[in-house]
Chains A and B, each alone.
Chain A
Amino acid sequence: MEQFALAKVKNVRIAGLSACVPSNVVDNKIFGESIYKNEISNVIKTTGVSERRICPENVVTSLDLSVRAADYLREKSGYDFDNIAGVIFVTSSPDFLMPNNATTAQYRLGLSGATAAFDINLACSGYIYGLWVAAMMSKSLNKSILLLDGETNSHFASPKDYATALLFGDAGTASVIEPCDDSNEWTFVFETDGSQRDALIIPEGGYRKRIDKHSSEYKKYPDGGIRRGIDMQMDGMGVFNFVVRNVPKSLQYLMEETNTTPDDYDILALHQANLFMVKQVAKMMKFPMEKVPTTIQKFGNSSSATIPVTIAAELDKQISTKKLRFIASGFGAGLSIASASFELGPCVCPGVTEYEC
């Protein structure tokens, strides 16, 4: 049986990309002192997360951050949003269970009513899925698609849970995907293992287990973590196991299918899960770290948004002026892996803006 689903899309390009992070900076050395005590320096070293950007709960959301990223892209690029006929919002932290974020984004950005708008509920593999769906949608509508991708995972990471307390940051991003006659083919590879649902899960708040009067109470769990039912529960070693066994294979398969080697790529863009994992996957794939941009040190893990945040923060000048060949992989809750090979640039990339909060 095949391990990966393979997809190819031709004649599309990323016309613009931007990101937005909260202005509020959390210093993990101070934040994590009470839970990690004298181990805090080692934990920061292992995860890589020195500081994170956090927005206030119930005040600023993934929708706010992503709409701001889109506005920033429009302001700085002059890109005509009248060309947009679709909005996709990738998030696992939407404003509401109903309606979705994409429809509100259409209204807040003043887009035409002739717009298809929907959310994709995916975590760390979400941006690559978003690119795939946006590419197909762009061809189908023969118009531009606005791909918004934002998360506020810090809001459901318990500050008392050793596994997750200082990992997560908040961010929103905007990418415009448009039809293009002479672009390189994009290739995608997907893998899913739903049997590992519980490895990364928010157990309460959905319809399998509705919120009740105990959902917001902190409890100590057998894994040692102290958290609420509405907080994220992570089996770190379970996720790690899945990633190390499957992400390199996914990237290898992608390179075989595209007849490429690491030398053919300018950039390996990995989901910023933690610095150790990024470095290990890069090493295993024989990519020098010069080709592997990282932002987890200053922004933390913003789940599905880490790949576009990293591109906007670290490669803005490069992709504004030239074409780069990317191989990218997002991996996490599901468990789910999505990898892609694509070209990016020259395009509009004003970088990262801040949301005052």
Chain B
Amino acid sequence: MKKKIFSIVSKIIESPVDETTDFKDINSLKLLQIIMALDEENITIPLEKIPSIKSVSDIIKFAQIEG
């Protein structure tokens, strides 16, 4: 799942990412784009966790696979 997350996030923020990538320069709209793109690949972040996402490692921590 990690690889898939890296690939999706990288595509949205248009630069390579790994677990150490933080989102300090990512605005809320961009973060929602990431969450939505993950959702489309059946990787769900619980709604209440979204505001606390500050990095790729947070996504990995909160990600749940659906279906």
Chain A contact residues, CB within 8 Å of chain B: 39, 42-43, 45-47, 162-163, 223-224, 235-237, 240-241, 244-245, 248, 274, 276, 280-281, 283-284
Question: Is A163 touching B51 in the complex (CB atoms < 8 A)?
Answer: no
Q: Which A-B residue pairs are the 4 nearest by beta carbons?
A: A236-B28, A241-B51, A237-B28, A244-B47
What's the Cα separation between A43 and B47 when bound, in Å? 19
- For residue A236, which residue of chain B has the nearest CB? B28
13 contacts between A and B (CB under 8 A): A39-B33, A45-B33, A45-B36, A46-B32, A162-B27, A223-B27, A237-B51, A240-B32, A244-B51, A245-B48, A274-B32, A276-B35, A276-B36
What's the Cα separation between A283 and B37 when bound, in Å? 17
Residues of A within 8 A of B50 (CB): 240, 244
Chain B contact residues, CB within 8 Å of chain A: 12, 27-29, 31-33, 35-37, 47-48, 50-51
Most buried by A among B29, B36, B47, B50: B29
What's the Cα separation between A245 and B48 when bound, in Å? 6
Question: Is B36 touching A47 in the complex (CB atoms < 8 A)?
Answer: no
Residues of A within 8 A of B12 (CB): 42
Within 8 Å by CB of A240, from B28, B33, B36, lies B28
Question: Is B29 touching A280 in the complex (CB atoms < 8 A)?
Answer: no
A-B contact number at CB 8 A? 48
Residues of B within 8 A of A237 (CB): 28, 31, 51
Question: Is A163 touching B28 in the complex (CB atoms < 8 A)?
Answer: yes
Within 8 Å by CB of B29, from A163, A245, A284, lies A163
Most buried by A among B12, B28, B37: B28
Most buried by A among B27, B32, B35: B32
Residues of A within 8 A of B28 (CB): 163, 235-237, 240
Residues of A within 8 A of B27 (CB): 162-163, 223-224, 236
What's the Cα separation between A236 and B37 when bound, in Å? 18
What's the Cα separation between A327 and B31 when bound, in Å? 29
What's the Cα separation between A284 and B47 when bound, in Å? 8
What's the Cα separation between A179 and B27 when bound, in Å? 48
What's the Cα separation between A213 and B28 when bound, in Å? 31
Question: Is B36 touching A236 in the complex (CB atoms < 8 A)?
Answer: no
Question: Is B33 touching A280 in the complex (CB atoms < 8 A)?
Answer: no
Question: Is A42 touching B48 in the complex (CB atoms < 8 A)?
Answer: no
What's the Cα separation between A108 and B37 when bound, in Å? 49
Residues of B within 8 A of A42 (CB): 12, 33, 37
- For residue A274, which residue of chain B has the nearest CB? B32
